[in-house]
Every structure is written in C-alpha cells, then in structure tokens.
Amino acid sequence: MAVETLFSKIIQGEIPADIVFQDDLVTAFRDINPAAPTHILIVPNKIIPTAADVLPEDEQAMGRLFTVARKLAEQEGIDQSGYRLVVNCKEDGRQEVMHLHMHLYGGRDLGSPLLRNAK
C-alpha cells in the first residue's frame, strides 16, 4: 500500500480543496498558493510519488493528465493565449508534495521557463 499523501486526502475528500475536475484516473484542483491567474494541479488518483516512479501500467493516467489539462485550459479561457504544464521531480526539481502532479499555469505571460541565473 502506498503511503497517504496530502493530495490523496484531497482526492478522497478528507481535506477540502477547490476541485475543478475528477474522474476515475485523475483529480484536478486549484493550487492553494497560485503563481498565476490560473494555477491548477492535475493529480493521478493512484499514489505515484514522483515522475521517477511512473510504470508502464500508469500510461493511461499519464495521458489523462494531458487531456484534462487541455480541457481545463479551454474552460479557463487560456487555450488561445497559451499556458505552461510543469511536473517537478524530487529535490533538484523542487518537488514539495511527493504525489506526482502536473501544474497548469496560465492567464499571464509566464516568462522564461528556466531560472537561468540560478547556480
């Protein structure tokens, strides 16, 4: 059994969140500390800790992250202006919650994707 995570508790309704989409494979909810006018987290219902733990059997859920991102971008009205999809992985990727998730950012010019001055 995978260890419960903050996000698995949100998925199961044990912790409140602004859920914008849920189906059999993924759940999407608004980030509690948004970095852009639209900032939604799209999370597989299965507890997969990081991108480094994805298995072949997870391919359907991983694909669903993208189709739900597309649908939500349309709902948010950012599909024409554009948006950014990000999956952070482990320490160097600055992943904070160890339950794989895709960030959907949009609603403003998001700037350069890399911190080019960071050492």
Between CA 65 and CA 95 the distance in angstroms is 17
Quick one: which of 8, 27, 38, 95 contacts ligand 5GP (CB under 6 A)?
95
For ligand 5GP, the closer of residues 41 and 42 by Cβ is 41
Number of CB atoms found within 10 A of residue 48's CB: 21
Q: Is 52 in the site for ligand 5GP (CB under 6 A)?
A: no
Does the active-site annotation cover 101?
Answer: yes
Helix (H, G, I), strand (E, B) or coil at 57: helix
In this structure, are residues 87 and 100 in contact, taking their beta carbons and an 8 Å threshold?
yes
Place of tokens 């739900």: 68
Q: Is 91 in the site for ligand 5GP (CB under 6 A)?
A: no
41 burial type by CB count under 10 A (0-12 exposed, 13-18 middle, 19+ buried): buried
Between CA 109 and CA 88 the distance in angstroms is 20
Quick one: which of 31, 58, 76, 79 contacts ligand 5GP (CB under 6 A)?
31
Q: Is 33 in the site for ligand 5GP (CB under 6 A)?
A: yes
Quick one: which of 8, 20, 29, 47 contacts ligand 5GP (CB under 6 A)?
29
Residues at the site binding ligand 5GP, with contacts judged by CB under 6 A:
6, 17, 29, 31-33, 41, 88, 94-97
Catalytic residues: 101
